[in-house]
Amino acid sequence: MRLVLSEEQIRDGVADLSRQITGDYRGRPLTVLGALTGSLVFLSDLIRQLDFRLQVGLIRARSYRGRSILPGALTIQDAEMPEIAGRDVLLLDDIFDTGRTLAGLVETLRELRPASLKTAVLLLKQGRSEVPMVPDYYCFEIPDVFVVGYGLDYNDEYRHLPHVAALDKDEL
């Protein structure tokens, strides 16, 4: 494994992001939605630095598994999600890779009529996007490598690492 982002770099990146978000929302009540499971660590660090009224919820994206998988054809398991109609919503995910997951979640959440909907990711992978959107906020751009740690997993392992590391092909 190769270190990509140290614990300290992540701490600084998340702190910068929290200042940006605090400035942009100027105290307007916010609903922060974390996409399970990868955003858990990012979510818990970020929300503790947002010192204004906010609600927190969790969602899980589910792809339809059928003969054709359309981009955006996602359902959301929303058991842990508060009502978002009329609210300012910030959707968090761990990584924007092809962007299909985030784009699908955005499309589905828009149907619930939030007052506004923005997206934030910890990592933006370079040169991989397959969708016509970019996240409103991101902490770090990374090259096209498979990364784990700080919530990101390989077979549900490594999520607990406090840093982000790249797994080489022979480790996958």
Q: Which residues are catalytic?
A: 97
Of 51 and 144, which has the nearer Cβ to ligand XMP?
144
- Shortest distance, CB of residue 86 to ligand XMP, whole angstroms? 27
5, 14, 25, 38: which one contacts ligand XMP (CB under 6 A)?
38
- Quick one: which segment of 7-15, 16-24, 42-50, 143-151 binds ligand XMP (CB under 6 A)? 143-151
For the record, the structure tokens of 122 come out as 């910890």
With binding defined as CB under 6 A, does residue 33 bind ligand XMP? no
Q: Which of 46, 52, 43, 49 is nearest to 88 (CA)?
A: 52
Contact characters 73-112, ligand XMP, x per CB under 6 A: --------------------xxxxxxxxx-----------
**139 with 17: CB under 8 angstroms?**
yes
With binding defined as CB under 6 A, does residue 153 bind ligand XMP? yes
For the record, the structure tokens of 13 come out as 């990146």
Strand 30-35 versus strand 88-96 pairing type? parallel
CB atoms under 10 Å from CB of 145, counted, come to: 14
Beta bridge partners of 69: none
With binding defined as CB under 6 A, does residue 118 bind ligand XMP? no
Strand 116-125 versus strand 137-142 pairing type? parallel
- Point out which residues bind ligand XMP (CB under 6 A): 38, 93-101, 146-148, 152-154
